[in-house]
A and B are shown apart, each in its own frame.
Chain A
Amino acid sequence: MSADTTSRSALWQRNPAWVQLLGLCPLLAVTCNLTYALGLAVVIFGVTFASSLSASLLRHCLPRSIRLPCFVLIIATLGTIATLLLEAYAYELFASMALFVQIIVTNCMILGHAESNASTRSVGRAARDAIVTSLGFALALLLMGAVREILGSGTLLADAQLLFGSRAATWTVHIGESGVAPLARYAPGAFIVGGLLVALGQVAAGKRV
């Protein structure tokens, strides 16, 4: 399988969220609007990339017996660093999604990628796989955030200033007066929209739903 085919497959047919069903907790909890989804996507991208590089660089030094605790330690460190940076440079966004950044260490997508993929591959290959996998997860987050925000609030990119500064306050796109399905903003709506997107992902992966 060529590198391009593998990349496309990780983005869609083997998407970590919709097809492999990994990292569903932040996917359901944070995606009530597109800005939060984008914020978490950036954090997860950074942590996945850095942890995969570390796992690949350390693959010859770490005995198999301590590989997993070492990766947990590295991911916890990177998650804490992401939390500190967010609190320092995007405080309002941090206040809204701090809990889900703090629990990044339990995200199976990141740990699974470091353990089963990056720790057996060269640095270049691990970096490319990490980029594609986290882009696949980001795609899931952004699609879910956009669908929930449009259905629940009738807007797109509300609160963009939390991520992009005060000039982004005018970026909000209004689609109708209010959302057609306010339930989409809340937890039950997240499960319903998430379920539908998972079904779509399974169809895209060529599985029978």
Chain B
Amino acid sequence: MFKSALAFLFISVGCGLLLVFTADLTAPRIEQNRLAARLDIARTLLAPLPAEVNLALPISGTCDAVLLLNMVSPGYAGDIQLLARWQPAAGVAMRVVAHSETPGIGDFIDHTRGPWLAGWDDTLEGDIPTIDGIGRATITTNAIKYAFSQALHRAEVHCER
């Protein structure tokens, strides 16, 4: 029993150290790749990108023109990361940056795989209940609804300040 526990502990520590080392080694490059992916997506939402946009911040841009918001919404298989564009009067448009939704069932939200999310560009508060994914993944659709509602709320609070 003692030998088993000791062996398991030894292997756990070894695996943990290996993971920490790899995570440290790859972290700067992963961060750089994620930022580049966000920039590419931002350009599909807003071209040309205004100089004041800084995607490393949770919200960037100006309230009288456009805001870009980094969003996270709980999906079926973990968090869905999104980038939202808010414009006064025009509402919110959104694209998925990263997700782990089930391929073929929940990945319809990915704009590179289908036009569903782009179909909800310029969504206003009143449009959110009509966002539907009939015959699709309910939790994934609800995550997108939540993200739209949060984006509108955060933009409103940010601009009131």
Contacts and interface: CB of A to CB of B under 8 A. Distances in A.
Interface of A: 29, 58, 61-63, 65-66, 69-70, 73-74, 76-77, 80-81, 84-85, 87-89, 91, 95, 98-99, 102, 186-187
Given A73-B15, A80-B19, A62 B7 contact: yes
A85 B22 contact: yes
A81 B22 contact: yes
A91 B33 contact: yes
Which 9 residue pairs of A and B lie closest in terms of their CB atoms, listed nearest first?
A: A88-B26, A91-B33, A77-B15, A88-B29, A84-B26, A66-B4, A63-B4, A81-B22, A87-B30
B46 interface: no
Contacts of B22: 80-81, 84-85
B29 A89 contact: yes
Interface in B78-117: 98, 100, 102-104
A74 B10 CA distance: 12
Interface class of chain A by DSSP: helix
Contacts of B3: 63
Contacts of B11: 58, 70, 73-74
Contacts, number: 57
Contacts of A76: 15
Nearest to A30: B103
B12 A73 contact: yes
Contacts of A88: 25-26, 29-30, 33
B58 to A, nearest CB: 22
Given A69-B8, A88-B33, 13 more contacts: A29-B103, A63-B7, A66-B8, A70-B7, A73-B15, A80-B19, A80-B22, A85-B26, A87-B30, A91-B37, A95-B37, A99-B103, A186-B104
Interface class of chain B by DSSP: helix
Contacts of A77: 15, 18-19
Contacts of B56: none
B23 interface: yes
A70 B8 contact: yes
A111 B7 CA distance: 19
Contact of A84 (B30, B37, B100, B102): B30
Contacts of B33: 87-88, 91
Contacts of A81: 18-19, 22
A99 B100 contact: yes
Contacts of A186: 104
A46 to B, nearest CB: 13
Nearest to B28: A88
A77 B29 CA distance: 20
Contacts of B23: 84
Nearest to A80: B19
Contacts of A85: 22, 26
A70 B7 CA distance: 9
Interface string B134-160: 000000000000000000000000000
A89 B26 CA distance: 9
Contacts of B29: 88-89
Contacts of B102: 99
A91 B38 CA distance: 12
